[in-house]
Structure 1
């Protein structure tokens, strides 16, 4: 996160002036707290007075994930601009989210607060950006896109998000310093609706199109852009069912079909984007492979992140088997997210071509890997 904030300072320095305050005030839209202004999408909502102001109350019943009760603002297409609102937490709030540029029920940009961060101002998971791609909330592929914030259990929390092209700034209560900067959002579309979910009281919602203070045009800078050690180019099979409690019994053979897939931001190979959600209760598996060519036999270390389970082979020989299952005693640092911090394994490379083959399962949220050599010298990949 410190690296991202350093990048943010650069972005601020490059950002052009925004429209004059009078022009922005004229464009700003205040969203009424009445049913006629909202699409409830089959969910319950109450329009009440809370803490002295007109309020919208929604309640997800304490769900263990976001997205179960999304309501959206009618007749609003949002691309770039600023959204501000006040949010008061309920006694049993777990999460509260804003969905923006929501293309459809399966795809949206998505920022949420974790209520368990109240009174814990330095826990690095109070606020998180995680796109919803093809029906998958990829929060566990987005560890670098979360941060700390000071959340209030009582009274209003003021939230402001600023969106421009591929970038996001999120302010939580402190409007002088962003709590979170996202240089490269994961959505590959540019506009959509705005919605909210969770168990929360919402008030004073405003949308100001094209007001993007602090952000220059385009995407930001990938923090690992200059790092040639990442393994970015892979081949992948189509997913196959692998029932829970079973293990793969055969490796790919000459008849296996492969397609190319490349790493995205932060070196992440995002299989959720390519293959969508694994059906509830199911478990799927793919094989990925890449070739590392060495001038001579040598030993390298591979920093390796994955979600959910992996079976690693080098030149046809088993090398590493492991699990990274959130909420279990064996989950990897940081707390079961797919991260370059998950593990380090040794690669005994032979002179010439070496095939690195990885079996990867999925049954829980995001599906992906990230892999980085300790040294790319003397290697082609």
Structure 2
């Protein structure tokens, strides 16, 4: 825990006895000359509160994070510890809301944290107790190896890193949605654009103006192919980056195809952030908002992306059916965004074929 071993940002202090690193709010310390893939990371950590922890498998501004929210009720709070992906420097809190758990993690006292990473699997212990984050112990970051960085406000001590035995490191799985064929796993996406918006006096913020199908770009302009990650998530942040800061609302069109053996109606579960309009064969069939922290426009759970956000009936004709979704990243003019994406699942696939390539 010496200054020469780290690259720091912000207010970072190395104790004279080399026992700990103290990192202030907004500061960070990145370990030099170390690439971590699989193995164990252990450290002691003390924090007054806030969102603190480490990022790993980092390459530039993309990687993964394990974060803590130290508080007096951490043992009973489901958001005490959270795992998430990071893309383009964006901590995607709201795309991975179900990758969090309670833990025996105290504020302003020393806590012991251990991560055991084996390929695309990670187990986490806090003060000797196994916690259930990430969900199903599954890592979904963009990379399998990269740097390690500690974030404040917190003090860190007794950091140890041990590599895994090479034969214990399984290959990364390329399967989408962990083999759940009920998810829509392939979409085409347009480039991001600023969409028309208007001020909603009832909600107290700008919202997107409902689009018409006539504003759908030509198919040959959809230059991005997006595949679901192992959780079924279409991660728009990873593909298109962050929404523009400020009051402008940035959007994209997503397109997929569903083939039906005959005319029928299928129930669909949908999760999204932040506003979505769904068209089937040119007709609007669903529209809703999931705006974090906005009463009346925030879906369970807590305005984060989940299949519990909503559901609708999908009318299908015999043969090819085109589904077009206008999705925006409306975060109320905030200076920082926390991910935007889409998740869609059909519980009943009888007589239906989803696009996979």
Q: State the partner residue of 1:147.
A: 101
- Give the alignment's TM-score, normalised by structure 1: 0.80
The separation in 2 between residues aligned to 1:298 and 1:82, in whole angstroms, is 51
CA offsets, 1:185-230, max 9 Å, x none? 23332322211112112111111222699x7623479795343221
Task: Report the CA distance between 1:171 and its aligned residue.
Answer: 1.0
Alignment of 1:42-121 (within 5 A): 43-48=10-15, 54-60=19-25, 68-90=26-48, 93-104=49-60, 106-116=61-71, 118-121=72-75
Which residue is equivalent to 1:64? none
Contact 1:82 1:211 in 2 (8 A): no
2:295 equivalent to 1:342: no
Correspondences of 1:367-378 after superposition (within 5 Å)? 367-378=340-351
Q: What SS is found at the alignment partner of 1:272?
A: helix
Is the 8 Å Cα contact of residues 58 and 201 (structure 1) preserved in structure 2? yes
Cα RMSD between the aligned structures?
2.6
Match of 2:115 in 1: 161
- Return the TM-score normalized by structure 2: 0.85
Of the candidates 271, 278, 281, which is equivalent to residue 315 of structure 1?
281
Tell me, yes or no, if the aligned pair for 2:177 and 2:229 is still in contact at 8 Å: no
Aligned partner of residue 273 in structure 1, secondary structure: helix
Describe the shift of the 1:224–1:38 C-alpha distance in structure 2 as closer, same or farther (beyond 3 A).
Answer: closer
Determine the structure 2 residue equivalent to 1:301: 267
1:272 aligns with 2:225: no
Partners of 2:166 and 2:117 lie apart in 1 by 6
Q: Distance in 1 between matches of 2:165 and 2:179?
A: 31
Alignment-derived partner of residue 187 in structure 1: 141
Give the secondary structure class of the aligned counterpart of 2:30. strand
The one of 316, 320, 333 equivalent to 2:300 is 333
Tell whether the 8 Å contact from 1:167 to 1:220 is kept in structure 2 after alignment: no
- The 3-state SS of whatever aligns with 1:180 is coil
- Equivalent residue number for residue 338 of structure 2: 365
Are the equivalent residues in 2 in contact too, given 1:291–1:354 (CA < 8 A)?
A: yes
Residues 179 and 357 (structure 1), Cα distance of their counterparts in 2 relative to 1, 3 Å cut: closer
How many residues align structurally?
Answer: 333
- Alpha-carbon separation, structure 2, partners of 1:194 and 1:216: 19
Distance 1:244 1:94, change over 3 A: farther
The question of whether the paired residues in 2 share the 8 Å contact of 1:300 and 1:348 is answered with yes
Aligned residues of 1:81 and 1:162 also touching (Cα < 8 A): yes
What residue number does 2:81 align with? 127
| Runs of at least 5 residues in structure 1 that lack an aligned partner in the other structure | 1-31, 61-67
Is 1:173–2:141 an aligned residue pair? no
Are the equivalent residues in 1 in contact too, given 2:63–2:142 (CA < 8 A)? no
Contact 1:149 1:179 in 2 (8 A): no
Between the aligned partners of 2:269 and 2:286, the Cα distance in structure 1 is: 12
1:54-102 per-position Cα deviation (integer Å, ceiling 9, x unaligned): 3321111xxxxxxx42211233222222111111122xx2111201122
Query: In the aligned structure 1, how far is the partner of 2:12 from the partner of 2:277?
Result: 46
